[in-house]
Amino acid sequence: MKKNDPKQRHRGRPALRKMLKIMKLTTLLFFIALFQVSAKSYSQETKLSLKFENETLENVFSKIEANSEFSIFYKNDLIKNSKEVTGEFKDALIINILDEVLKSENLTYNIKDKLIMIVPKDVNGININSQQQKSVSGKVTDQTGASVPGASVVIKGTTTGVITDNSGNYSLSNIPENAILQFSFVGMKMVEIATEGKITINVKLEDETIGVEEVVVVGYGTQKKVSSTSPVSQLKGDEMARRPVTNAQQSLQGLAPGVTIVDNGGSPGRSAATIRVRGITTLSGNNDPLVLVDGIEQRIDDINPSDIDNVSILKDAASTAIYGSRAANGVVLVTTKRGKKDQISINYSGYVAMQEANNNPKHMGLEDYMRYQNLAYTNVGMLPLYAEETIQTWVTSTDRIKYPLPNVWFDKVYKKAPQFDHNLSISGGGEKIQGRASIRWQEQNGIVSSVFNKINEARVNLDFNPYSKLKISADLNYRQNYSRNGSTTFTLWHYLYHGSQWAVPRYPDGTYGISKQGHSPLLYNDMAGSDKLNRGMLVANLKFDLEILPHLKFNTQYSLRNDNNVQKIFNNSFQVYDYTDKSKLLKNVDKNTLNENRDVINEITLTSLLNYERIIEKNEFKFLAGYSEISNKQNYLSGYREYFYNNDIQSISMGSDNNKNITGYDSEWGLKSYFGRINYIYNEKYIFETNSRWDGSSRFTGSNVYAFFPSVSGAWRISKEGFWNKSNKLFNELKLRASWGKSGNQAIPLYEFYPALISAPYTFSDKLAQGYLQENMSNADLTWETTTQTNIGFDSQLFKQKVTLSFDWYKKITDGILLSLPIPGVIGLNAPKQNAGVIENKGVELMIGYRGKSKQLSWDISGNVAYNKNEVISLEGTGPYITTSSVDPMTIRAEGLPIDSNWGYLVDGFFQTAEEVAGYPTLFANTKPGDTKYVDRNKDGKITPDDMTNLGNSFPNYTFGLTSTLKYKNFDFFWQWQGAADVAVRLSGALSEMGNQEGFTHEIYTNNVWTVDNPNSRFPRPTKFSLNNVQSSEMLIYDGSYLRLKTLQLGYNVPATFLAKTFVKSARFTLSATNLLTFSKLNEWNLDPEFPSGRAAYYPQTTIYSIGFNFQF
Amino acid sequence: MKNTIYFTTAILLAAFFSACNGNLLETIPTDRISTEIYWETEKDATYAANSVYRYLDGITIVDYDGLTDILHSNIPFYDNGTIERGDYNSNTPKIYDQWVYLYKGIRAANNFLENVDKVTTTNTTLINSLKSEMRVIRAYLYVRLVMLWGDVPLVTKTIANISVGQSVTRNTTAEIWTFIGSELDACASILPLNQTEKGRITKGAALALKARVLLYQNKWLESANAAKSVMDLNKYSLYPKYEDLFSTVGENNVEIILDKQFIKDIYSNNAFQYLGPYSQKNANCNFVPTKRMIDSYTMSNGKSISDPTSGFDKDNPYENRDPRLKFSVFVKGSKLPDSKIYDPTPGSKTLDEVGSTYLATVLGFNIKKYVNSDDLSNISNCGINIILIRYAEILLTYAEGKIESDQIDQSVYDAINSIRQGRNDVKLPTIVSGLSKAELRTIVRNERMVELAFEGLRLFDLRRWKTAETEIPGFVEGMTYKNTSGAYVTIKLDGFLKIFDASKHYLWPIPKKEIDLNSNLKQNTGW
């Protein structure tokens, strides 16, 4: 048994290994920095001895290159008329040589590391290198005159620069004549000032006004935010990467109105967070928004948050129609960071975090539980389970081996778990090539030891500018995500609550205790097996941008994505013997099994765009025409074997030859689309835009293959009108917007239109008899779902641009919803998808931001609220469709109700007397006083499913978020609140069973159940093995509204003066906490508010504390 | 000039990429077979027919007995427990699932019958046999539908579109019985007496099902005649070892008239896991026999245990009993598949101990039929065939038909006595002639209950006898044991009351989901 115990195998090791990894990374960083320092001094230290006799400059340069590590760049035109050179140099510095050979030419040079650039002298004939270099100093202030410490002052085109001190002063020496200084500070507009021989330059920086010049990413392009006609939420990568998240979608939570992220926990690497943009639009299939990373469709989970430059969320039809049939649920556009010219920087960021489970339900106390069980038994006419003396002995005993506590699993199984994340990136470039490369290493331990996750990924983004009119971008992203979960047959999460009472977790000799029902979540966690998933993703992307004519650009992008998932689910064999009698086998799982799955998806996307942009006087025109193709191929293979030699021999060939199985399939789909956009702006005031897409999909057949998705939108910048500025001091900017359009949803299983037979064998005479059977009904008339959306809103800036305010109202109607409407059972086939039904989402979104600043302090606050009302308008007269289990959460799809509303009986307290029971209809024949009184809504004298009613939304109607940043000197403080309201959750399983089926019994029931003496209790009388009080009813429904302090973060930037003498450009440290404080009705159940309705049998949400580091070199 | 080059390059590039995927929007699946290319060869016909056999009852046939007095649903929160308690309604998933399952089988059979003539073959014998096999399976499924719901839509053609499915009405029980009868008659005349492949439907199966169908309609004499026609085939006889009937060695024996065939690894069932005692690799023991069932086994001298002269020994309650008891049920002292001794007595500290966990038997008994030691190695991968009709039933049908139609003669006694004596391992005293109709009725009914225990017939027997309201209701009781103070205690589940409401429980409710889609379907009375 010890052999199989993973805990024993790795004892004490992980910490050391992690430490070594950190050390290796640090060393690497150090060498990179060192290398940069030494490179700078090459030109000052290297001495050359050379001789030239009547040689052309070309030869001279070749000789220099041959005798040194310098590389010399020049345009041939420059030297074609140069004079021949003669001269001799001994141990000369490169600048001396160059000064000499170029003295009679109209040329000068720039030296950067080992690169020498030969350039023409400027008009004054001044050689910048040979002139005396000067010093400049001054002070940087903001609009109010307050000094700005920490602002950077950089000589344009170089990496030379300083950072202002605490009083905002700076001093920069060795500045070439005619240099341009760039002054910048986060949140302020960059200012460039030519030195022009000045010795003192004071600069006033202005706040970067949000919106006015800001550019937002939209479908197949960018737009100035002021001329956007759609409510686009754009988030900066830096904002998103603030808290230690494992995936990008968690970091979106609470930041954008109308974007609801429900984090249903999920184990690391298998996140269960869902994104919904403006509600749920479809009943079946996919409600996820389309996620495009640099134009390539991807899972949002598969993006390194640190690689994100910005995220645009397109919500209305005007902005999404251009994505046609995939855009009904909104579009998330992710743009990754790219290298910039002349700014080589190395950046390290990382964090160390500690995670803690958020679901820690508390079990009833020992004595309370025993008496409670007795009550439950006697309530159904059985004898009490525990005699009084048993209770006394049990309670007073200190021997918890002989007298175990009823349920201590949460303490034994959950543990604090560390998480590490390291990101290293280098970016920079020259005229012709710019690049950025990054690597990330993340390791996340689960809050139970069977869960583990590791991510390794690298991204290289390169831009080439071979000619002024051509730009070629080549990106490569490779990612490996290894995640391990526990056994799939004995799911720990289920057994934490169910069937695990009264076991000693582990005996002194290490033997596992098991409950009377034969279970132990701890045993299952440690020994029952593992589910290991290796997700590999490779994305390659090649993009050409070409200016064909002035104003006309052509752009084509070809990208490949390969998903390669390998999963091994190995369920162990194991035995548990009795602690006291080792010969007694208590639990015998003698079969170990392996399911090994390979899932390979190859997707090729080709997009070509033609862009025409022209400004003629006050008229600004933009035209876009595009063509796109997506081809997706999938191959799935799954193998099964059992009875392996032992649990460590996990290769599929080592299983028994009996009962092995291999299955798999191939599938493919394609999308072919034509799309276009016209923008017209008159006098920066009147903005008009239209988008449309003609999409063809292989998922449909006949005339349904192609569909058209149009949109129109317009905006009016009232604040640009002449009458406005003079009369209105309050609004600096006000723009009214309106849009209308259609988008579609094609996310249905493949080949739905295709009547097909599947393999369904039988057997005769103990031999296989092959068989084929049609199981599913086909529907050749299947077509797209279409979502028509109208949006009206405004964007504004008030109070000298300190306040920004946006508001939107929308109405989204989805028609022809692809729905597996139940079909009559008499047909004898499974229901096909049908275009049936209409769903409406209506809502408003409000976003308000404020930015303030005083001498030492700056702060900004941004809040958003969204309301979305969902309603099923039509199911074409059918329905309602109700999930059938009554003990698990029941939901309904019915006309007039929100999708998947909770469904069940109303409750009118508990029956108090036998007379009351006799005088009112009951659901169960053996109803007694203290049982739940289900309401006979239709007053037909019977309690039947017809008495059930709507018990609340399963998806929140309100979502809100508030973020605020405070900066004081080198400190900054950030917090984010986030929440949802008007949502109901339903408890089931052990949580709601009240100890009925020997499940986890929450302490909330203590002295809170109905008895004759306690008739006003909160809960009904406890019973055994009866379902009387656990029927789907409002008794089990809780208000799922919550408000939580999602993130709290304190940051410290090391002052520039400290760093001046080091190779570190900037250093930042942060302390943060996630999910620190929550207000929710579910707190009394010790459940996280984002708890999904049900049994809580899942990997829970966590509270995370972290320390973060960020260094720039 | 340069621009032109770029432009041309770009256009060529674009053209190149677009040309790559001419058939992008016409993807053809390779993981399924189109119905359009099917129905060409003889093989297609055979394969399509094979798949329809899957709709015959498997091990869940036990569930029907589980809803009666002889078994108790050991997992009370499953639907079987809900039905047992009388707490079910038109929303109960099991009711809907069963409805859909039966109509899926009917659809598969209809589909075969509609398409099989497209196949080009000269082997008409094969095609005719396959057609009849499908019609018998369809009839078998309709017997289930009628017995569970009464009037049901009689669908004999595939329903091509949904609106047709939404307008069907319930045909009367009589119409469906007539249909079933004529189908079975027709098929019996076509089907061969013996099929090369064991498990295929034969003439005998059609005739035997006809006997059952007539019995269910209380057409006594006709059912006796139908049973006689099976007997007269001289093909079937009682298998000498009752003990082996439900084990691998007994597969395809002379007594089997119709079974569902299984084979390990390829098309297996989970009989062992479904029924076995908890101590046997945590098997699920979905159903456990009740005291009522156990007490129905007489003493080996043929006397009821309630008879003071029977010799029943309270301390050895399972000794000297009808041997079929120990062949059918694990009782205290039985040898388990893992060779241990079964002891569910409270306090025994075995895994089967009553009350130690709700997963082990709560009554102190476990079903033994189909729980074979050779399946212990992998309890969810069993190859055991599940018997659907066997010769013993035919003999009892014959006897009952004759008794009820007042044609009591020696052949009735012979039929009953052959079951009591006709095997090597079951030797009970003969029933001596000269009994009244009522006495014989009691005997034959008890014989059906004992001989065919857990084989899925009890529910329908109670329904046709209309005795369910007297047989089923009451608290569930289990084994009797001697407690530590020496007193005899009978396990009684006070919290579990079996309910049968004669005003509605003789038929299940039509599933609400089905009525929601089709207002032509009227609900059964009482629901």
pLDDT of residue A127: 43
Measuring CA to CA, which residue among B13, B18, B87, B337 is closest to residue A943? B87
Q: Is B486 exposed, middle or buried (0-12, 13-18, 19+ CB in 10 A)?
A: exposed
Q: Which range in A232-246, A666-680, B386-400 is most confidently predicted, on average pLDDT?
A: B386-400
The answer, yes or no, to whether residue A67 has pLDDT greater than 50, is yes
pLDDT of residue B486: 87
The answer, yes or no, to whether residue A34 has pLDDT greater than 70, is no
B77 vs A887: CB contact, 8 Å cut-off?
yes
**Scanning every residue of chain A, which has its alpha carbon at the shortest distance from the alpha carbon of B383?**
A766
The one-letter amino acid code at B7 reads F
Q: Which pLDDT tens digit goes with each residue over A1035-1057?
A: 999 999 999 998 899 999 888 78
Q: Is B89 on the interface with A (CB under 8 A)?
A: yes
At B454, is the pLDDT very low, low, confident or very high (cuts 50, 70, 90)?
very high
Q: Is B197 on the interface with A (CB under 8 A)?
A: yes
What are residue B275's phi and psi, to 5 degrees? -115, -25
From the candidates A593, A667, A763, which should be mutated to test the interface with B, based on the most B CB atoms within 10 A?
A763
With beta carbons less than 8 A apart as the criterion, state whether A291 and A335 touch. Answer: no
With beta carbons less than 8 A apart as the criterion, state whether A102 and A72 touch. Answer: no
Contacts of A579 in chain B (CB under 8 A): none
Q: Is A34 on the interface with B (CB under 8 A)?
A: no
Q: Is B174 exposed, middle or buried (0-12, 13-18, 19+ CB in 10 A)?
A: exposed
Average pLDDT of A784-813? 90
**Scanning every residue of chain B, which has its alpha carbon at the shortest distance from the alpha carbon of A669?**
B27
Average pLDDT of B465-481? 94
Contacts of B10 in chain A (CB under 8 A): 544, 546, 548, 554, 556
pLDDT of residue B366: 97
Name the token pair of A910: 């508990």
- Entry pTM: 0.77
Tell me the shortest Cα–Cα distance from B6 to chain A, in angstroms.
Answer: 7
Contacts of B14 in chain A (CB under 8 A): 556, 608, 627
A767 vs B36: CB contact, 8 Å cut-off?
no
- Residue A593 β-bridge partners: A571, A642
Q: Which pLDDT tens digit goes with each residue over A992-1047?
A: 989 888 899 999 999 999 999 999 999 999 988 777 898 899 999 999 999 999 88
Q: Is B499 on the interface with A (CB under 8 A)?
A: yes
B6, B30, B48 ranked by CB distance to A772: nearest: B48
- Residue B283 β-bridge partners: none
pLDDT of residue A242: 66
pLDDT of residue B496: 80
Lowest mean pLDDT among A103-117, A198-212, A898-912, B83-97: A198-212
Neighbours of A816 (CB within 10 A): 19
A824 vs B494: CB contact, 8 Å cut-off?
no
A750 vs B29: CB contact, 8 Å cut-off?
yes
Residues 159-188 (B) with a CB less than 8 A from some CB of A: 159, 162, 165-166, 168
Lowest mean pLDDT among A40-44, B134-138, B302-306: A40-44
Contacts of A550 in chain B (CB under 8 A): none
Contacts of A380 in chain B (CB under 8 A): 494-495
At A867, is the pLDDT very low, low, confident or very high (cuts 50, 70, 90)?
very high
Q: Is A470 on the interface with B (CB under 8 A)?
A: yes
Helix-helix angle B203-216:B220-231, to 10 degrees = 160
Contacts of A503 in chain B (CB under 8 A): none
Q: Cα(A620)–Cα(A678) distance, rounded to whole angstroms?
A: 11
Q: Where are the beta strands (DSSP E) in B466-513?
A: 474-482, 488-498
pLDDT of residue A125: 41
Q: Which pLDDT tens digit goes with each residue over A378-414?
A: 888 777 888 899 999 999 999 999 999 999 999 999 9
Name the token pair of A699: 């998922």
At A570, is the pLDDT very low, low, confident or very high (cuts 50, 70, 90)?
very high
Residues 249-268 (B) with a CB less than 8 A from some CB of A: 251-252, 261-268
From the candidates A471, A609, A635, A773, which should be mutated to test the interface with B, based on the most B CB atoms within 10 A?
A773
pLDDT of residue A187: 67
At A243, is the pLDDT very low, low, confident or very high (cuts 50, 70, 90)?
low
The answer, yes or no, to whether residue B15 has pLDDT greater than 60, is no
- Mean pLDDT, chain A, rounded, equals 86
pLDDT of residue A133: 55
pLDDT of residue B35: 83
Average pLDDT of A956-966? 91
Q: Which pLDDT tens digit goes with each residue over B108-157?
A: 999 999 999 999 989 999 999 999 999 999 999 999 999 999 999 999 99
Name the token pair of B502: 């004669």
Neighbours of B124 (CB within 10 A): 8
Q: Where are the beta strands (DSSP E) in A746-784?
A: 756-759, 762-764, 767-769, 772-773
Neighbours of A411 (CB within 10 A): 12
Tell me the shortest Cα–Cα distance from A771 to chain B, in angstroms.
Answer: 4
Q: What is the 3-state secondary structure (H, E, C) of A20-89?
A: HHHHHHHHHHHHHHHHHHHHHCHHHHCEEEEEEEEECHHHHHHHHHHHCCCEEECCHHHHCCCCCEEEEE
Q: Cα(A451)–Cα(A602) distance, rounded to whole angstroms?
A: 29
Between A445 and A1091, residue with greater pLDDT: A445
B91 vs A886: CB contact, 8 Å cut-off?
yes
**Scanning every residue of chain B, which has its alpha carbon at the shortest distance from the alpha carbon of A545?**
B10
A771 vs B47: CB contact, 8 Å cut-off?
yes
Q: Cα(B463)–Cα(A371) distance, rounded to whole angstroms?
A: 44
Q: Cα(B402)–Cα(B220) distance, rounded to whole angstroms?
A: 7
What are residue A665's phi and psi, to 5 degrees? -160, 165
Question: Which residues are within 8 A (CB) of A646 and not within 5 positions of it... i.e. 6 or more apart?
Answer: A592
Q: Is A556 on the interface with B (CB under 8 A)?
A: yes
Q: Which pLDDT tens digit goes with each residue over A300-357?
A: 888 888 899 999 999 888 889 999 888 888 999 999 999 988 778 899 999 999 999 9
With beta carbons less than 8 A apart as the criterion, state whether A754 and B35 touch. Answer: no
Contacts of A660 in chain B (CB under 8 A): 265
Tell me the shortest Cα–Cα distance from B295 to chain A, in angstroms.
Answer: 24
Share of chain B above pLDDT 70, in %: 96
Average pLDDT of A522-540? 95
A923 vs B87: CB contact, 8 Å cut-off?
yes
**Scanning every residue of chain A, which has its alpha carbon at the shortest distance from the alpha carbon of B526?**
A942
Measuring CA to CA, which residue among A293, A245, A230 is closest to residue A792? A230
pLDDT of residue A27: 47
B25 vs A698: CB contact, 8 Å cut-off?
yes
Average pLDDT of A930-952? 92
Element (H, E) at B292: helix B291-296
Q: Which pLDDT tens digit goes with each residue over A345-359?
A: 899 999 999 999 988
At A780, is the pLDDT very low, low, confident or very high (cuts 50, 70, 90)?
confident
Name the token pair of A977: 């609140």
**Scanning every residue of chain A, which has its alpha carbon at the shortest distance from the alpha carbon of B47?**
A771
pLDDT of residue A2: 40
End-to-end CA distance of chain B: 86
Residues 101-160 (A) with a CB less than 8 A from some CB of B: none
With beta carbons less than 8 A apart as the criterion, state whether A941 and A971 touch. Answer: no
What are residue B106's phi and psi, to 5 degrees? -65, -40
Q: Where are the beta strands (DSSP E) in A383-469?
A: 417-429, 433-445, 452-467
Residues 345-384 (A) with a CB less than 8 A from some CB of B: 380-382
CA B378 to chain centre: 23
pLDDT of residue A404: 94
Q: Is A752 on the interface with B (CB under 8 A)?
A: no
B14 vs A556: CB contact, 8 Å cut-off?
yes
The answer, yes or no, to whether residue A1 has pLDDT greater than 50, is no
- Mean pLDDT, chain B, rounded, equals 92
The answer, yes or no, to whether residue B10 has pLDDT greater than 70, is no
